[in-house]
């Protein structure tokens, strides 16, 4: 089962709901394959897929014709190509005798839906702003969801992928900088302690030398004093 991700939102509620519905149908088909249901049920699912794909394509083409300055003919050609592909996929599934081959069809449909949103829909949504149909009401959402919506609205899918790659890298660089700064601070602290220890050692050596000099001086003065006193006594 593939769950809907708000990162695939194009910002137009009707189109987003269409994409969610198509994803639900694809998930339903995958579940039916897993349960090995009857052929009639598989055929009903493909009928639902084909009908809802047409509804979505018609709605999308109406938006494009009204709001977007893009090649509608090329977009419609892509839609028609998928619509024609659905009966082929159904026949391939019904003729498939292995589970893996059957699952490949749902994988193909899922890939198609994601690529349809990313490569066909999202690039043209920016030109819809003139029609004021892009939903930007995110004030009542939680903070994380508001940020997610804002990111979806103002950044293309390619930029969002780039951001998703850069954010962890930036986090690692920041962590590395913090660790390096911490190590440098510790090094400077240890170096300062070492410098103080050297100074104390030198001070101790100086004090010892001064004490020796003081002792020698006192001895010298004492000897001179004795000689002086002896001279006084003899005279």
Place of tokens 């001279």: 231
Residues 115 and 171 in one domain: no
Q: 42 phi and psi, to 5 degrees?
A: -60, -40
Among residues 139, 165, 195, the one where a domain terminates is 139
Q: How many domains does the chain have?
A: 2
Between CA 126 and CA 175 the distance in angstroms is 36
- For residue 192, tell me if it sits in a domain: yes
Residues 111 and 169 in one domain: no
Between CA 23 and CA 134 the distance in angstroms is 21
- Residue 57 near residue 83 (C-beta atoms within 8 A): yes
Residues 63 and 113 in one domain: yes
Between CA 107 and CA 100 the distance in angstroms is 10
Q: What is the pLDDT of residue 137?
A: 44
Between CA 214 and CA 233 the distance in angstroms is 28
Could you write out the DSSP letters of every residue in 38-84? -HHHHHHHHHHHHHHHHHHHHHHHHHHHHH--S-HHHHHHHHHHHHH
Q: What is the pLDDT of residue 5?
A: 78
Residues 63 and 166 in one domain: no
- For residue 233, tell me if it sits in a domain: yes
Residues 47 and 132 in one domain: yes
Among residues 113, 139, 165, the one where a domain terminates is 139
- Residue 29 near residue 59 (C-beta atoms within 8 A): no
Residues 17 and 93 in one domain: yes
Q: What is the DSSP letter of 140?
A: T
Q: Which domain holds residue 227?
A: 155-235
- For residue 150, tell me if it sits in a domain: no
- Residue 123 near residue 156 (C-beta atoms within 8 A): yes
Residues 62 and 135 in one domain: yes
Q: What is the pLDDT of residue 123?
A: 76
Residues 126 and 213 in one domain: no
Instruction: Count Cα atoms within 13 angstroms, Cβ side, for 172.
Output: 5
Residues 128 and 49 in one domain: yes
Residues 94 and 42 in one domain: yes
Q: What residues in the chain have per-residue pLDDT under 50?
A: 136-141
Residues 114 and 178 in one domain: no
Among residues 105, 139, 173, the one where a domain terminates is 139
């Amino acid at each position: 089962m593939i769950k809907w991700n708000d990162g695939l939102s194009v910002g137009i509620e009707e189109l987003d709901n269409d994409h969610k519905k198509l994803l639900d149908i694809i998930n339903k088909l995958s579940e039916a394959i897993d349960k090995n249901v009857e052929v009639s049920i598989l055929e009903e699912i493909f009928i639902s897929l084909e009908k809802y794909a047409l509804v979505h394509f018609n709605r999308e083409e109406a938006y494009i014709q009204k709001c977007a300055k893009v090649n509608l003919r090329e977009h419609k050609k892509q839609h028609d190509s998928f619509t024609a592909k659905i009966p082929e996929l159904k026949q391939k599934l019904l003729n498939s005798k292995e589970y893996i081959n059957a699952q490949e069809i749902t994988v193909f449909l899922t890939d198609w839906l994601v690529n349809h949103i990313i490569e066909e829909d999202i690039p043209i949504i920016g030109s819809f702003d003139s029609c004021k149909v892009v939903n930007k009401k995110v004030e009542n959402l939680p903070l994380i969801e508001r940020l997610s919506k804002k990111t979806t609205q103002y950044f293309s899918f390619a930029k969002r992928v780039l951001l998703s790659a850069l954010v962890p890298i930036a986090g690692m660089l920041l962590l590395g900088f913090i660790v390096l700064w911490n190590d440098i601070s510790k090094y400077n602290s240890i170096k300062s302690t070492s410098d103080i220890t050297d100074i104390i050692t030198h001070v101790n050596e100086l004090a010892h030398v001064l004490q020796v000099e003081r002792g020698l001086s006192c001895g010298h003065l004492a000897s001179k004093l004795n000689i002086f006193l002896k001279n006084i006594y003899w005279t």
